[in-house]
Amino acid sequence: MAIPIKNQNAIAKMRDASAIAATVLYTLNEHVAPGITTYDLDQIGRDLIAKLGARSACYGYQVGSRRFPAYTCLSVNEEVVHGIGSMKRILSDGDIIALDVVVEYDGYIGDNAMTVPVGAISDDRAKLLRVTEEALRLGIAKATVGNRIGDISYAVQTYVEKHGFGVVRDMVGHGVGTSMHEEPQIPNFGRRGKGELIRPGMTLAIEPMVNIGNWRTKTLRDGWTITTVDNSDSAHFEHTVLTTEQGPEILTIPRLDSSPTVHAMTA
């Protein structure tokens, strides 16, 4: 299947959708604290998305006969991705939580994620977050016109494994546009010089998912939540990126006046 190349109109709409997703993500981060439930966080995310005139692309997302029941994906500690907000999951000091926000606005998708500490976290968990976020930065830097998708994959994998962590292989990054999942697939492992050629006008969701233990995962009985097999901690960072002749441009930058919790990653 061909990789969609966005024209200027589509790029403008991608900018808007991505900015909304980023604004929700970073504002949601401000509410992360010991004692809050993941259900409460999901409802805050729902309200923020509606306030900004968008809709959650997660809520009702269908795979087979199953529909995702939450507005955001909130994954705690050993949960890798697709965690469902629950009144029973109360955040505690020392936890980590991956916040994953995907919105649809004016027909286009913005997709981003970050993993954040809940209070004071252990050195091992802090290192996991640092390594995963840096792997995302290195992967984005390889999303240059003339490179191949495998160059992104290789950059992520080699950095993560150098630090002794496992790169999740069952889920991958992907193109994004009018659909949440477009071509190409972007694994977080692979070989340099392999895969699809990167051309101007691609919009890519690059998203390292990294485990302290090995890379293997399993799906819980809810049919959605992915966890590590060995119950080790996992982290997830993601940006939507536009490929241009001038280099990769991160689209998921929040539109906020100021906030000490907001840090815009640059490639």
Q: Which residues line the annotated binding site?
A: 82, 100, 111, 174, 181, 207, 238
Would you say 224 and 240 are in contact if contact means Cβ atoms under 8 Å apart?
Answer: no
Would you say 163 and 153 are in contact if contact means Cβ atoms under 8 Å apart?
Answer: no
In the block, which residue shows the tokens 């252990």? Answer: 122
- Residue 133 has phi, psi (to 5 degrees) of -65, -40
DSSP class of 104: E
Q: Is 105 helix (H, G, I), strand (E, B) or coil?
A: strand
**Can you say which residues are annotated as belonging to the binding site for substrate?**
82, 181
Would you say 203 and 241 are in contact if contact means Cβ atoms under 8 Å apart?
Answer: yes
Residues 6 or more apart whose CB falls under 8 angstroms from that of 118 comprise: 32, 33, 34, 91, 92, 93, 94, 95, 96, 97
Instruction: Select from 163, 174, 167 the least CA-distant residue to 188.
Output: 167
**Can you say which residues are annotated as belonging to the binding site for a divalent metal cation?**
100, 111, 174, 207, 238
In sign, the C-alpha dihedral spanning 240, 261, 23, 255 is negative
Would you say 103 and 17 are in contact if contact means Cβ atoms under 8 Å apart?
Answer: yes
Instruction: Select from 102, 124, 93 the least CA-distant residue to 252.
Output: 102
